[in-house]
Chain A
Amino acid sequence: DSGVTQTPKHLITATGQRVTLRCSPRSGDLSVYWYQQSLDQGLQFLIQYYNGEERAKGNILERFSAQQFPDLHSELNLSSLELGDSALYFCASSVGQLVYNEQFFGPGTRLTVL
């Protein structure tokens, strides 16, 4: 158990809908990262927050947005969902914001878009 929690575990929704994925980092960690993992694209970095501020952006679509709240939990919002958005979404956290700060991954949220 990494100490990172993600809810929900599974989510099934329809095309065009909007969903929110939630992540609680490990106690004391200030950085939160979001990743998408699919069979065809592999693991892709989406976005990083550190202490409430956006720090890095990867291959995140404009239909997706994220934020980190004052209590350090983070939410990833996915809107206008398409079939291709079906994937496993991971959140990770680390104590700092630098690359050598080890990231601890949560168990993931499996999103299925029908």
Chain B
Amino acid sequence: QKEVEQDPGPLSVPEGAIVSLNCTYSNSAFQYFMWYRQYSRKGPELLMYTYSSGNKEDGRFTAQVDKSSKYISLFIRDSQPSDSATYLCAMTPRDYGQNFVFGPGTRLSVLP
């Protein structure tokens, strides 16, 4: 079993839909959680960063962490065709000297 699991997709949704992307993990030491967006042939870019359990909202994006279930989610409201990309979750146990572990990514297509 991989340390971080993520449904690879592809996930296709119509424009305006609410998108839910998820990751599960096995290492209970993970404390810091991130979501990255990666467009084709580009480097990843950070979307959201959360520490420990709870919710964080930024515009159309909401990140949720449930440490008891070892489950994190990213919700995208009012999805746009420009949101079409691969979404990677990442996590690390420490805020210093961190060893990031990434999920395999979910490919999302938002259809106009």
Contact = CB atoms under 8 A, between A and B. Distances in A.
Interface size class of chain B, counting residues whose CB lies under 8 Å from the partner chain: 20 to 34
Interface stretch (B13-21, B67-75, B76-84, B93-101): B93-101
Contacts, number: 59
Interface string A88-105: 001010000111101111
B39 to A, nearest CB: 11
A74 to B, nearest CB: 15
Contact of A58 (B34, B44, B99, B104): B99
The secondary-structure label for the interface of chain A is: strand
A103 B46 contact: yes
14 contacts: A2-B43, A4-B43, A43-B90, A43-B102, A45-B99, A45-B102, A58-B99, A58-B100, A97-B97, A98-B96, A99-B32, A100-B95, A105-B45, A106-B43
Interface of A: 2, 4, 42-45, 48, 55-58, 90, 92, 97-100, 102-108
